[in-house]
Each structure stands twice: as structure tokens, then as C-alpha cells.
Amino acid sequence: MGLHNKIMKRTEINHILDQPTIGQEVNIKGWVRTFRNDQFISVNDGSTIRNLQIVISAENTQEEDRKRLHTGACISVNGIVQESLGKGQSVEVIGHSLEILGECDPNEFPIQMKKHSLEFLREKAHLRFRTSTFSAVFRIRHHLAFAVHQFFNERGFYYLHTPIITGSDAEGAGEMFQVTTLDLNNVPKNEEGHIDHGQDFFGKATNLTVSGQLEAELAALALGKVYTFGPTFRAENSNTSRHLAEFWMIEPEVAFNDIFDNMDLAEAFLKHCLKYVLDHAQEDLLFLQDREQQEDKTKPTEERQIMPLIDRLKFVVDNPFERITYTEAIDILLNSNHYKKKKFKYDVSWGIDLQSEHERYLVEKHFQKPVIITGYPAAIKAFYMRLNEDGKTVAAMDMLVPGIGEIIGGSQREERYDVLKEKCAQFNIPEEHVWWYLETRKFGTCPHAGFGLGFERMVMYATGMGNIRDVVPFPRTPLNAEF
């Protein structure tokens, strides 16, 4: 039998497996995972990590079609839902008509049922969605995105869309991608020999945003509670497992919040998102947990996870985070055996920017749970952070989690006009670049605070994936912008 003789509405596999109606006629569409014994098709349609078993026979299908049933082929099958006699599934579908929608040549298709390395699959990012691992990761990514909006919506925040093209450098780190329509082969120059951005599209130099914070602050000073959730771009040349050149950030900003309110919000936010995944993605988590445990067997004991994935997430959801000051963090590091045995590559003293080895020691060895560090030296943090009474530290906060390091960075903002102007001068930020930001401090300023959470780092944490390139569909990293 070739084409279906009857047009039927498609039923998704999760419905068939979760609420089966024995004897019902259904149409299934999906991709073949395996085809065994000229009889059993295991098919997946993305609605769940579970595959559906479809049984076909020589009587109701053509041999020529069965020969085209290779891993990766896309099929449409009409059949009857039945209780399954085989192990591993409660129901199966007895197919009575099969149509091959898209063939898949087994000699060319790179994704086979054997286990592929994540590195190999990164080269095949257009097809890696077809694996159980990546379909689980991207379903969880979806659930987390939904949980983000749910959290803020339930608390009366407004979702704000801040610009992607901007003239400002919020973080002052200078790691920006320039946006221009000037002819790069014939760049107009001014009298001083500098690029004449006056002739550029916007009449000034612009770049892709590194953060929506400064604009979010403007809105918070009227709307009260806002958050952004959008792409951000950083041209930092760091080829690590935790950095992307294009990543998504969530940035809440709240009028009248101080640094303590900010910490409470950040902790509640991360807990909410992880709890949502525990409640809505159990099967995917179980799969990833199992995968991680298999991987761990190949690693030395000290690199293995202490707790399985689901327990780890529950632990974070159920326990208060540690809160310490930067000064306390430095003391812990200085008093550690690790430091005394000279095991840190970078030296430790008050004033240093904590390196990731220091952060990992604090969260993974010392506290073994998420830690929020506040009160960093003013000199190593951004210009907008509120200066503390001591005149040398700022009301900054970083949240660090085991296995990832920094997941959130934020602060109470400098709301005092004079202090902020002084900070701009110290950081060499021309006032004409941030005049609009400064004006909000002149017109009805108020204490306020906010933070940024790196979405991909949260997805890494929730899925246990060890490389940030494996939690975003098409990673953008130095020398890599394929797909």
C-alpha cells in the first residue's frame, strides 16, 4: 500500500503514550529511530523523548517501502492503538498503511543509533536535534524560557524590549561587535584621520548590545518592575566552555529595591525556574541524568558528580543559598589548604578580580552550594554600581553555582547624581554618551537594583551539560558562525 487511502488528522506520540485509547485508529508522523526484524519501527516525533513502536507486516506494506525504512527517514503511518506485548512500552500501533515522506540514505546520514561524541554532533548542529540528548536539552530550554516569563508575570513585572543596536557600552568592557553600513573597503575618514561615523547609517558609531540594563533602568524608574529577555553579544575572545559571543540574558530591574531585595529576587528566580523544570520535564531530566552517569563512569573519581542531576536540582530548590561578602571570600581563600599548598594559578589578595578557579573553589569545595558574593571592590566592577559607605566597595552581587561558576551578575545602582557623575569621570565615560542615563538621576531619582542571568548558563545547570555550545541551537563562538 503506498499513499494513505484516508486523510486522517495526525496524533502526536505523547498523546498516544500518555492517554491511549485502545482500538482507536490514528495517524502518526515522525522520524524513524530504528527498524528491526522487517517488522518493528521505533519512531519519534519530538513531542516526547519516548519513541512509539509501530508494528508493520508484509501483508499490509510493500517490500519496496520497507527497504526504505532507515534510521532518519520521515514516515506517516495509519494504524490501530493496541496494548503492547513487548517489554518497555505499554502500547504500540499496528500499522495498516505506511507512507515514506522523506527518505534517508543510511550511507550518508551522519546520525546513527550508536553513541556520537558531543564534539562530532556540534559539527552536525543542523541534525543533532534528531538525537535524544539534544531534543531533551531543547525541550528543557523551552521550559526554562517559559518559567522565566511565568515568574515575572506572576510578580507583576513588565516584559521590556530593549534595543539590540545601541550606541552605549553598558558594561564598559569594550567587547563589542560594531554595526555599520560604511563600505569597509573605502572607509570615510575625518580630518584627524579617524573613521567618520557621521556618514554612517545612524550618523554615529553603533554596536550590538552587551546588555539591556541601562535602558531597563530608565523604564523601571516609571513602570516600577521590568525585565528584559533577549539576545546580547560579546566579542570577548574567550574560547571557554561557558562563553558565547551571542547569548540570551534576562535582566530584571526594580525601583525601590536595595541589594538585599535584589539577592532575594535572584534566589527566588533561579529556584522557580529549576522547580518548573523538575515539575515539567521529568522524563527529559531522567534521560540526561542517566547519560551523565554513563559519562561519569569514564571519568576519574574527583571529576564525577557528587549527586545525580535531579537530586542536585532538588537540593538547590530546597536549600537557602550561601551569602558572603567579597572580603569574606578572600579570607576563605587565603585560609584554605588549597592556597597554602600553592594550588591556585592566580594569586589571592584583597582587590583582585576573582578568577574562575577561585570561584569554583568557593562553590564546589568550600560551600558545595550556590553562593552569592556581595561588596566587591569598586575598581573591578562597572561604573553604575552603588558606592558603599566605606568608599571603596560597591553594592555588587555575583551568584556562583557549582559546575558553572558565575550565573548571575547584578547590583544596586548608583542613584545619586553627583556620585554617578564622579564615577563616569573616573571610568573615562564621556557624559555626552550617557546624558540620558544621568538625567534619570536628576529627575526623580530613586534607589533601585537589578541583575542579569545568563540564560544558557542556567540551561547548562538544569541539564547538566558541560559545554555551553550544547545548550544553544547554533552556537556563535570565535571563528565559528556556521548554520
Site residues (vs Mg ion, CB under 5 A)? 409
Cell of 132: 535524544
The CB density around residue 71, as the number of other CB atoms within 10 Å, is: 17
Q: How far apart are CA 111 and CA 131, in angstroms?
A: 8
C-alpha 154, offset from chain centre: 22
Among 28, 88, 98, CA closest to 56: 98
Q: With H, G, I as helix, E, B as strand and everything else as coil, classify residue 109.
A: coil
Strand 225-233 vs strand 158-159: parallel, antiparallel, or unpaired?
parallel
Asked if 234 is part of the footprint of ligand 4AD (rule: CB under 6 A), the reply reads yes
CA distances 40 to 29, 77, 166, Å, are: 15, 13, 56
Asked if 408 is part of the footprint of ligand 4AD (rule: CB under 6 A), the reply reads yes
Among 15, 41, 21, CA closest to 30: 41
Draw the binding track, 118-157, toward ligand 4AD (x: CB under 6 A; -: no contact).
Answer: ----------------------------------------
* Pick 48 or 211: Cβ nearer Mg ion: 211
Asked if 321 is part of the footprint of ligand 4AD (rule: CB under 6 A), the reply reads no
Asked if 447 is part of the footprint of ligand 4AD (rule: CB under 6 A), the reply reads no
Q: Residue holding cell 556556521?
A: 482
* Pick 35 or 247: Cβ nearer ligand 4AD: 247
Among 367, 373, 453, 375, CA closest to 402: 367
Cβ neighbors of 68 (< 8 A, separation 6 or more) are 100, 103
Say which entry of ligand 4AD, Mg ion, none residue 451 contacts (CB below 5 to 8 A, set by partner kind): ligand 4AD
Q: With H, G, I as helix, E, B as strand and everything else as coil, classify residue 188.
A: coil
Burial classification of residue 151, based on how many CB atoms lie within 10 Å of its CB (0-12 exposed, 13-18 middle, 19 or more buried)? buried
> Which of 197, 243, 271, 448 contacts ligand 4AD by CB under 6 A?
243
The CB density around residue 390, as the number of other CB atoms within 10 Å, is: 10
The region of 35-43, 49-57, 243-251, 364-372 touching ligand 4AD under the rule CB under 6 A is 243-251
CB 380 within 8 A of CB 348: no
Q: What is the DSSP string of 124-179?
A: TTTTGGGSHHHHHHHHHHHHHHHHHHHHHHHTT-EE----SEES--TT------EE
Asked if 370 is part of the footprint of ligand 4AD (rule: CB under 6 A), the reply reads no
Asked if 244 is part of the footprint of ligand 4AD (rule: CB under 6 A), the reply reads yes
Cell of 43: 519512531
Draw the binding track, 5-44, toward ligand 4AD (x: CB under 6 A; -: no contact).
Answer: ----------------------------------------
CB 408 within 8 A of CB 270: yes
Q: How far apart are CA 368 and CA 351, in angstroms?
A: 24
The nearest distance, CB 269 to Mg ion, in angstroms, is: 16
Among 252, 254, 249, 284, CA closest to 406: 249
CB 406 within 8 A of CB 468: no
The region of 77-85, 129-137, 347-355, 445-453 touching ligand 4AD under the rule CB under 6 A is 445-453
* Pick 92 or 398: Cβ nearer Mg ion: 398
The region of 47-55, 349-357, 436-444, 449-457 touching ligand 4AD under the rule CB under 6 A is 449-457
Asked if 330 is part of the footprint of ligand 4AD (rule: CB under 6 A), the reply reads no
Asked if 454 is part of the footprint of ligand 4AD (rule: CB under 6 A), the reply reads yes
The nearest distance, CB 340 to Mg ion, in angstroms, is: 28
Residue 186 backbone dihedrals phi, psi, to 5 degrees: -150, 70
Q: Which residue is nearest to Mg ion (CB)?
A: 409
Asked if 406 is part of the footprint of ligand 4AD (rule: CB under 6 A), the reply reads yes
* Pick 200 or 251: Cβ nearer ligand 4AD: 251
The nearest distance, CB 324 to ligand 4AD, in angstroms, is: 17
Q: How far apart are CA 99 and CA 104, in angstroms?
A: 14
Asked if 383 is part of the footprint of ligand 4AD (rule: CB under 6 A), the reply reads no
Say which entry of Mg ion, ligand 4AD, none residue 422 contacts (CB below 5 to 8 A, set by partner kind): none
The region of 69-77, 144-152, 245-253, 435-443 touching ligand 4AD under the rule CB under 6 A is 245-253
Say which entry of ligand 4AD, Mg ion, none residue 35 contacts (CB below 5 to 8 A, set by partner kind): none
Asked if 170 is part of the footprint of ligand 4AD (rule: CB under 6 A), the reply reads yes
* Pick 72 or 409: Cβ nearer Mg ion: 409
* Pick 370 or 409: Cβ nearer Mg ion: 409
Cell of 1: 500500500
> Which of 30, 79, 409, 464 contacts ligand 4AD by CB under 6 A?
409
Draw the binding track, 212-231, toward ligand 4AD (x: CB under 6 A; -: no contact).
Answer: -x------------------
> Which of 20, 452, 464, 475 contacts ligand 4AD by CB under 6 A?
452
Give the residues lining the site for ligand 4AD (CB under 6 A). 170-171, 211, 213, 234, 236, 243-244, 247, 249, 251, 406-411, 450-452, 454, 456-457
